[in-house]
Each structure stands twice: as structure tokens, then as C-alpha cells.
């Protein structure tokens, strides 16, 4: 799965929270998956990528250039 997305675990969590929000059929549950997804994209992924780039150097750069960051085959 990590061939399609660098952070497939975060993407899976976002899909999971979206599913739970849809199952509740409540508009009040919608902010939760939005918050989770935005926090992954803004607060968790950039520092993790910086750490991995520092630790693995050119190998990570090569991997990052050919792999989607969050949403498989999109971003």
C-alpha cells in the first residue's frame, strides 16, 4: 500500500472517520473527520516528511518523488 501513498495509514484513518460521520447521519459529526484530515495534512505529515528526508536522504527523496503523499494517486 505504501507504493500508492506515503502516508496510507493517515489516509485510512481519514476514510474511517469519514465513514463514521456518514453513519451517524448527523451534520454535527461532519467537523470531526474534517479536523482529523486537516490535522494530518497540515500538522503531522510535513514534520514526518522532514524527519524522513533528514534520516534517509536521497533514498527518501526518490521515494517521495514517485509516490503520492496522502491520497493514493492524487496527492
74 Cα distance to chain centroid: 11
**How many whole angstroms separate alpha carbon 5 and alpha carbon 72?**
5
pTM for this model (two decimals): 0.87
Residue 73 has pLDDT above 90, yes or no: no
- Asked whether the beta carbons of 67 and 74 are under 8 A apart, the reply is no
pLDDT tens per residue, range 12-71: 999 999 999 999 999 999 999 999 999 999 999 999 999 999 999 999 999 999 999 999
Amino acid at each position: 500500500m505504501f507504493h500508492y501513498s506515503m502516508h496510507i495509514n493517515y489516509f485510512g484513518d481519514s476514510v474511517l472517520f469519514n465513514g463514521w460521520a456518514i453513519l451517524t447521519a448527523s451534520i454535527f459529526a461532519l467537523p470531526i473527520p474534517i479536523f482529523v484530515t486537516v490535522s494530518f495534512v497540515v500538522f503531522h505529515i510535513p514534520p514526518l516528511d522532514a524527519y524522513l528526508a533528514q534520516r534517509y536522504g536521497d533514498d527518501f527523496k526518490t521515494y517521495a518523488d514517485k509516490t503520492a503523499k496522502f491520497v493514493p494517486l492524487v496527492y
